[in-house]
Amino acid sequence: MRLPMILLPLFLAAACSRGAAPEVDGDAAVTIEQRLGEDWRVDIALKLPTAALDLGPTIDGYRARHWRIETSGVRLATRGGRDYLEAGAARKFSRVDIRVEPAPVDLHKDYEPFIPLGDGAVIFYTGHVMPFRDAATRMQAKLTITAAEGAQVYAFGARAPMLEDWESPYDHPAFLYIGSAAPRESDTLVTIADATAPAWVSDEIATLAPAIGAALQNLFSRSLPTKPTILVAMGDLSEEGRLSYSGDALPGQYQMTLAGGAWRQSSPQALA
């Protein structure tokens, strides 16, 4: 079918805009889309085309196992203990489309990419999708994160189904909470507990955390860019009598996972 000449410019404009790269303000723009029951979509758009993009340490082959590069002509490569996105045959690229399996991988020497919570929510670490300018410096990257239907994205006081052009106030990778739980906010801290946590755990965290925040604020006598956040996940509770915890810290954030059957009931040991 031939198009009337008057419609041809409109047709070409529509064709060019489909799948157009997001506007890049800074070095890179990273778009993250949560998809329930499917791989997440991650799109990295660059200000300047490049033949190789440094993603940082290879972290025990995590990306090779759980990432799938969808952009033709771009591949994932590992050199000197770091992962790169590379274009072959001396070509350059300015945008890469990636599918990421939202799988917990139990990393012991780096931040977990996905920490699942019992109600389908997840804690997502942004650092593994934020490229590097050189071995020690990350690119200036703004993130747009879209939650699946019924969920919201939370980070440092911002909460919405989609956070657009987002950056951490600490100029650093961060944890994002993606789920339906409402954060509990005090004068000094924000807490989000796994919806499946025993009630005593949720209540204790919501009570204890503000007291800790106030004490630290008085001790250091300084203000912060925003209220710090404590994120608590429940791990495997199947082992009776076990009482263990693990966690990770980032600027302005602390994530803690409680594991073992002894967390089901309050006890002096658990409270301590």
In this prediction the pTM is: 0.88
As a whole number of Å, the CA-based R_g of the chain is: 21
pLDDT for residue 21: 56
pLDDT score, position 20: 56
CA gap 188, 178 in Å, rounded: 22
Q: Can you give the pLDDT at residue 226?
A: 87
pLDDT at residue number 251? 94
The predicted structure's pLDDT at residue 7:
42
- Residue 233's nearest CA partner among 175, 185, 189 is 175
**Rounded to an integer, what distance in angstroms lies between the CA atom of residue 206 and that of residue 183?**
10
H helix intervals, the chain:
8-17, 62-66, 199-220, 268-271
pLDDT per residue of the chain (272 residues) written in tens, 0 to 9: 444 444 434 333 443 334 555 688 889 999 999 999 999 999 999 999 999 999 999 999 999 999 999 999 999 999 999 999 999 876 999 999 999 999 988 887 899 999 999 889 999 999 999 999 999 999 999 999 999 999 999 999 999 999 999 999 998 999 999 999 989 998 888 999 999 999 999 989 888 888 888 888 888 887 778 889 999 999 999 999 999 999 999 999 999 999 999 999 999 999 98
Q: What pLDDT score does 17 carry?
A: 36
Give pLDDT, residue 217: 82
- pLDDT value for 11: 36
Looking at residue 115, its pLDDT comes to 95
